[in-house]
Amino acid sequence: MLLNDHRTLFLTSLREGLRRTRDLKYIKPQAILLSGVNGAILHSASQLSTTTYDFIIVGAGPGGSAVANRLSEDAKTTVLLVEAGGLNDDDITLEVPLLCTRLTPSTRWDWNYTTTPQAGLNGRSVPFPRGIGLGGSSAVNCLVYTRGSKENIDEWAKLSGDESWGWDQLLPYFKKSEKFNFPVDGHNITGQFDPSVHGFDGFIGVSVPNAPRAIDGRIIQTTQELEEFPFKLDMNSGEHLGVGWVQSLIDRGVRSSSKAYLVAPDVAKRPNLDILLNAQVSRALRTSTSGSTMEFKGVEFKDRTDGAIKTLAAKKEVILSAGAVSSPVILMHSGIGPKSLLDSLNITTHVDLPSVGQNLTDHIGVSSTWSVNSTLTFDTVLRNDTLLESLLEEWRTNKTGLLTVTSENHAAFLRIPENSSFWEEFQGQDPAAGKNTAHFEFLFQNGLSVKTDQGNFFNFPTGNVSPLSRGSVTINSSDPFAAPLIDPGLLTNKIDIVVVREAIRSARRFLTASAWDGYLLEAMNTAETDDELDEYIRQEAVSFFHPVATAAMSPVGADWGVVDPDLKVKGVVGLRVVDAAVAPSLPSAHTSAAVYAIAEKASDLIKAAWGII
């Protein structure tokens, strides 16, 4: 597609957006929820009519929201979902997809964590966003929906010792959570996705881009010009290598977070599902001991409206879904974790589980930026208040236009070429899960990156998606409300920085295609040698905020790991973990999709254990 065609598409979107008529009405999700006459939204613990439920679920992110929905499908099962934050319904920024870059860090929707000083980043401490409030991190992320490769998920089966955690068995759960929906601009999406690997009847909206970008045609043309960068029809098929259209967590032009599991009218009206907000859980409570087995069916929390410490009781189970940072922290303050650490903090050790908080694995990457010979970038939109307001009005009115997309329309998952010196340097060691799994990811961003009131830019994030570095989440205080110590150990394994370096060089090769002739003006990153690139990476790289494995599943009876394959915490009764923490390894993907699949499978496991239909 030629540049003039892109200009036409861009201007058409601006000029015609306000004139479009759509047969869809946007109702604020929380408005639906609050209209329920049966199940309750409780803003304070003082509103609780009971403190005992069959199941108490901690955290309203992807894990907790999905499990709360599925368990409450049985009208005889009472469920309480406990969330530290609020409704997350009071700002348009939370709903408009392209405004995702404004949600973190250092906002009221973020826990506002930072890492410990990272040796691999020249001693820098970097932001480590985690969402707070309904939706958790799914309410503040940048919406990219990817599952990883078949090899990634099959690795879970190997590490857990349970074949039911493999790709073929989990694919139905990926699909069960998903509500694939068609773009609001009505364009033909033939050739942009494979419908056979998607679900259409779930709760979480997934869509290919809702509006074109000026660089779309250049990217697709490059896949035709350069053999190194093949086109991939659907990177969520289990075979993800190549360049393809991004699938995003968007439902008819609106962000789709885990709140979708709670706001559907039939769910919101369930009398057996209550949601308690502003309740920060400090620990799971030991409620009894039978022989050598301890039972944890209680929860302690702080009511953030009055500061009071209160308790809840579960008849059947407590389910921690507070995320890869908070779930292990809650476990440690509950006396479940490394005995040496807990003893040093005068926390009574109930179960010595050294793996709690360990094995933190996260993606890392860095952006390279070019100035461009075009005004058709989002830099123009974001510095023109009149234009931006017109696009916001279009979104408010019809849920259409340029703001209905996330920060990229395309992504790529790629491997280091076989002829690279990389393989000789590391003696053939492959950090990926297999030869069909990516080492690095590309994101193609048409603007958004440079904080300046002049010029237009192309931003090219490149990330290592098969890292070997490992870190930890731990505590250094007996105060359960103190900030945790988050050490992702970024770039502590030498192979990881080499992968990022090779990703940058691969990105530069991508831009040598004639498709980019006359478009790129000046590179902001001019590092060339290995040493120069490594220094650039150490100074500029950041986490991609995809932490997993801090309460990893392992085989029954294993002396490592935190939960068994049924996600029950080892050595105790009545306590499970259902969130990204239980993933035993990090997929080469953004992690929301994986957590939804984990939660759907976990729901079936819990139902089967308790005979729930």
Task: Read off the pLDDT of residues 59-103 as tens digits, 9 standing for 90 and up.
Answer: 999 999 999 999 999 999 999 999 999 999 999 999 999 999 999
Query: Given the DSSP bridges, would you call strands 40-42 and 273-276 parallel, antiparallel or unpaired?
Result: parallel
Are the CB atoms for 159 and 597 separated by under 8 Å? no
- The 10s digit of each residue's pLDDT in 279-315 is 999 999 999 987 778 999 999 999 999 999 999 999 9
Are the CB atoms for 135 and 104 separated by under 8 Å? no
Instruction: Write out the binding residues for FAD.
Output: 141-144, 281
Are the CB atoms for 457 and 87 separated by under 8 Å? no
> How far is Cα 324 from Cα 473, in angstroms, rounded to an integer?
8
Catalytic residue among 350, 410, 439, 546: 546
Catalytic residue among 198, 240, 333, 590: 590
> How far is Cα 254 from Cα 395, in angstroms, rounded to an integer?
9
- Domain residues of the chain, as ranges? 3-16+101-111+142-256+364-469+497-543
CA-nearest of 224, 272, 227 to 81 is 272
Q: What pLDDT, on a 0 to 100 scale, did the predictor assign at position 12?
A: 37
Q: What pLDDT, on a 0 to 100 scale, did the predictor assign at position 7?
A: 35
The label of the residue with tokens 């259902």 reads 578
Q: What pLDDT, on a 0 to 100 scale, did the predictor assign at position 290?
A: 73
Q: What is the DSSP string of 396-445?
A: HHHS-SGGGS-S-SEEEEE---TTSHHHHHTTT---SSSTTS-SEEEE-B
Residue 410: active-site member: no
> How far is Cα 513 from Cα 505, in angstroms, rounded to an integer?
14
- Which residue ranges of the chain lie beneath pLDDT 70? 1-39, 449-451
433-461 b/e (C-beta count within 10 Å ≥ 16 → b): beeebbbbbbbbbbbbbbeeeeebbbbbb
Tell me the CATH number for domain 3-16+101-111+142-256+364-469+497-543: 3.30.560.10
Q: What share of the chain is helix, strand, coil (3-state, %, to 5)?
A: 30, 20, 45
Are the CB atoms for 208 and 192 separated by under 8 Å? yes
CA-nearest of 149, 29, 21, 41 to 85 is 41
Q: Indicate the pTM of the whole model.
A: 0.93
Reported as half-sphere exposure (CB side, CA atoms, 13 A), residue 578 has a value of 30
Are the CB atoms for 12 and 185 separated by under 8 Å? no
295 C-beta neighbours (distance < 10 Å), count: 16
Instruction: Write out the binding residues.
Output: 141-144, 281
3-state secondary structure of 182: coil
- Residue 590: burial class (beta carbons within 10 Å; 0-12, 13-18, 19+): buried
> How far is Cα 64 from Cα 322, in angstroms, rounded to an integer?
8
CA-nearest of 518, 402, 406, 569 to 58 is 569
Residue 392 has which token pair? Answer: 């916001």
- Sign, Cα dihedral of 267, 273, 277, 280: negative
Q: What pLDDT, on a 0 to 100 scale, did the predictor assign at position 601?
A: 98
3-state secondary structure of 211: coil
Q: Rg of the Cα trace of the chain?
A: 24
Residue 546: active-site member: yes
- Sign, Cα dihedral of 77, 564, 310, 61: negative
3-state secondary structure of 371: strand
Cα–chain-centroid distance for residue 200? 21
Q: What pLDDT, on a 0 to 100 scale, did the predictor assign at position 382?
A: 84
Residues 6+ apart with CB under 8 A from 441: 363, 365, 411, 412, 413, 414, 461, 462, 463, 465, 503, 588
